[in-house]
Amino acid sequence: MPFYEQLSEAYDALFPVSPVQRALLRSLAESLPAIRVADAGCGSGAQLLPIAELGGLCTGFDPDEAMASLARRKLAIFGDVRIETGGFGDLPGLVPAESVDLVLCLGNSLVHVPQDEASRFLSDAFVALAPGGQLLLQILNYDRFAPGGETVLSPIGSADGTVSMARRYRWEGGRQLRFLTELTLPGNPPRVVRNGIPLYPVRPGELRKMLAEAGFADAKFHSDFALSAFSNDSEALVCLAQKR
């Protein structure tokens, strides 16, 4: 994925793990009988870092080699962390059945594959989890995206202002969006990289059905990592689902 190769050098500056997100990840990990975690679409490995710091046994994987390499470097000091290059379909080969207690799928990663592949991943995640294990999933709330039009979200940027990314989402037919970005990177003059990749949006009602079909009967939807109540106006959808 050339887009993520370009994004990898600025990924942590644009998408830092917030104190609230870090606190949730640590809380979930500390509540586990054993800290065994898989992160699907792990990106730079930033979400695994607070779990690795607790001594967790972590497996992360990402389809982009540049991202996976970044995660390996970040987490190299932890002996119980393994980072692989792979996509959602590789989960069964990387994580044996009932071998982890927490599966992460964050950063809107799920919608980078068509819905049938996303559904298979959720089923595979259910198999990978030990009884009582949890899935933490984050996507955008696609009910807020007007059908047939274009949705513009607020630009995001680094704390020092040297990196920024403008984001637009344009419908291409009934089931696909084009994610259009303008990434500004440091330089003299600054470098501007424009890109577009397909996304396959999953609406909240569709996600609930997919989770139920995968075996997750009690999925809880929230609007953020503080686990605030989810509503139709929420920009994000954060889901916690447990394997009973």
Q: How far apart are CA 110 and CA 121, in angstroms?
A: 9
Which residue from 120, 152, 140, 157 is spatially nearest to 40, judged by alpha carbons?
120
40 close to 61: Cβ distance less than 8 angstroms? yes
pLDDT in tens, the chain (244 residues): 567 777 887 899 999 999 999 999 999 999 998 899 999 999 999 999 999 999 999 999 999 999 999 999 999 999 999 999 999 999 999 999 999 999 999 999 999 999 999 999 999 999 999 999 999 999 999 999 988 889 999 999 999 999 999 999 999 987 899 999 999 988 899 989 999 999 999 999 999 999 999 999 989 999 999 999 999 999 999 999 999 9
What dotted CATH number matches 2-142+201-242? 3.40.50.150
Q: Give burial (CB, 10 Å; 0-12/13-18/19+) of 51.
A: buried
Q: What is the DSSP letter of 90?
A: G
For the whole model, what pTM was predicted?
A: 0.95
